[in-house]
């Protein structure tokens, strides 16, 4: 019964079925009890400044400011003239996380000795965003993914590779979509202050190089995880609970006017929002609902812990347990298949909607992503 989601070629009932080199992504295969997911613990943070430079501190932290009842934020304001866009052609891979690990290695305990960080006591190191993609895979019908995996000192590093389709889409993004991408960042500027005692400054520049990232550790069944994710802002109350419980995720979405729009919001938007914030233990999403011209007409708070209740009445809706069980089984699949411990070997896991996950192996290729400085620093 434990192998029910594996594709089996020609198993006879008496034999253990042969292990498949592919992983099924059908929802029905992952409908079982919710797996153990330990409460995520923040182990550190880092900041990326207006020039995308790394700092091992919280200098880019912003503070949530409760908006007016009817806000009227114009999300297009500043799109031409006060917008510095991060260069999406620069592929940073895991570099910022690796810099954080090197800077904080004395704080991280090792598998072998509690005083050293070699080897790291984690099975997986990755970005939260990559795990979000895994969680939503059983429900994704449009965009596939490529995940490069390298085993080094018995830790599996997972770094996304942009698919050809995603690159084409990015390079041919219509002007309207470009502007709508800006809207999400502009909303953050209306909602956040730089200091606990200051107010948001919508007259400033929106610079998407800037980021504050949390680094959390947790466990999904027998997988010890270390991952980092960008955090939009935190509760400014000094009595707020410690991170990640004080963090607030900000989102924008089209205003909901019809039952059909509400249903789509529950079925597609809330899945993405839930997956992204559940992983690092961020408890709430504050959503700005905007009209077709990018004017925010209302703001609503969603508690992540209440989202599964909210969607239960939707026909054929997504289930948190399917998301988590698929992620868990994918990580088990990676552990089992990516066996060669070698920083220049990449196992490239590939998925397209309506297909199984497959992989290929690459030596000293364009896909290698662990930098020499990291390998040198972590070779003890």
Residues of this chain that interact with ligand A3P (CB under 6 A) are 181, 183-185, 187, 230, 232, 251-252
Taking the complex as a whole, the smallest distance from the CB of residue 111 to ligand A3P amounts, in Å, to 33
Of residues 155 and 252, the one with the C-beta less far from ligand A3P: 252
> Residue 185 binds which one of ligand A3P, Mg ion, none, with CB within 5 to 8 A depending on kind?
ligand A3P
Q: Which of residues 214 and 218 has its CB atom nearest to Mg ion in the complex?
A: 214
Least separation in angstroms between CB 185 and ligand A3P: 5
Q: Give min distance, CB of 181 to ligand A3P, in A.
A: 4
> How many C-beta atoms lie closer than 10 Å to residue 32's C-beta?
12
We find the least distance from the C-beta atom of residue 274 to Mg ion, in angstroms, to be 13
**C-beta of residue 287 within 8 angstroms of C-beta of residue 253:** yes
**Which partner from the list ligand A3P, Mg ion, none does 181 bind, CB cut-off 5 to 8 Å by kind?**
ligand A3P
Nearer to Mg ion (CB atom), residue 250 or residue 279 = 250
Separation between Cα atoms, residue 104 and residue 117, nearest integer Å? 9
Say how far apart CA 317 and CA 267 lie, in whole Å.
6
Nearer CB in complex with ligand A3P: 180/346: 180
- Please, where are the H alpha helices in the chain? 95-103, 128-136, 164-171, 175-191, 259-264, 270-278, 307-311, 320-337, 372-378
Position of minimal CB gap to ligand A3P: 184
**One-character DSSP codes across 24-72:** ---GGGG-SSPPPBPPPEEEEEEEE-TT--EESS-TT--EE----SS--
The site map against Mg ion for 227-266 (x = CB under 5 A) is: ---x-x-----------------x----------------
* Least separation in angstroms between CB 285 and Mg ion: 8
Burial of 301 (0-12, 13-18, 19+ CB in 10 A): exposed
Instruction: Name the site residues for Mg ion (rule: CB under 5 A).
Output: 230, 232, 250
């Amino acid at each position: 019964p434990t192998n029910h989601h594996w594709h089996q070629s020609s198993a006879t009932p008496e034999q253990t079925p042969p292990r498949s080199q592919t992983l099924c992504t059908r929802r029905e295969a992952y409908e079982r009890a919710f797996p153990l997911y330990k409460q995520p613990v923040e182990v550190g943070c880092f900041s990326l400044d207006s020039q995308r430079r790394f700092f091992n501190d919280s200098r880019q932290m912003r503070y949530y400011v409760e908006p007016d009842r009817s806000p009227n934020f114009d999300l297009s304001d500043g799109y031409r003239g006060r917008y510095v866009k991060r260069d999406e052609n620069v592929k940073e891979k895991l570099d910022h996380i690796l810099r954080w690990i090197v800077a904080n290695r004395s704080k991280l305990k090792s598998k072998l000795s509690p005083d050293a960080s070699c080897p790291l006591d984690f099975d997986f190191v990755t970005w939260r965003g990559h795990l979000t993609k895994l969680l939503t895979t059983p429900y994704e019908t449009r965009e596939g993914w490529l995940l490069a995996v390298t085993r080094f000192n018995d830790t599996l590093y997972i770094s996304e590779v942009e698919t050809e389709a995603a690159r084409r889409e990015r390079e041919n993004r219509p002007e309207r979509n470009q502007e709508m991408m800006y809207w999400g960042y502009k909303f953050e500027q209306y909602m956040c202050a730089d200091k606990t005692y200051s107010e948001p400054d919508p007259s400033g520049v929106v610079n998407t190089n800037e980021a504050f990232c949390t680094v959390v550790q947790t466990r999904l069944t027998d997988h010890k995880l270390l991952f980092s994710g960008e955090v939009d802002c935190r509760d400014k109350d000094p009595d707020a609970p410690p991170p990640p419980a004080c963090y607030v995720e900000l989102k924008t979405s089209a205003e909901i006017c019809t039952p059909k729009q509400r249903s789509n919001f529950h079925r597609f938007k809330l899945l993405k929002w839930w997956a992204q914030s559940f992983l690092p233990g961020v408890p709430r999403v504050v959503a700005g609902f905007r009209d077709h011209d990018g004017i925010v007409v209302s703001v609503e708070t969603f508690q992540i812990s209440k989202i599964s209740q909210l969607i239960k009445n939707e026909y054929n809706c997504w289930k948190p347990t399917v998301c988590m069980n698929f992620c868990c089984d994918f990580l088990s699949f990676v552990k089992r298949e990516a066996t060669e411990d070698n920083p220049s070997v990449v196992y490239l896991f590939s998925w397209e909607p309506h297909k199984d996950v497959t992989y290929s192996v690459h030596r000293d290729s364009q896909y290698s992503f662990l930098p020499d400085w990291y390998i040198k620093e972590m070779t003890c």
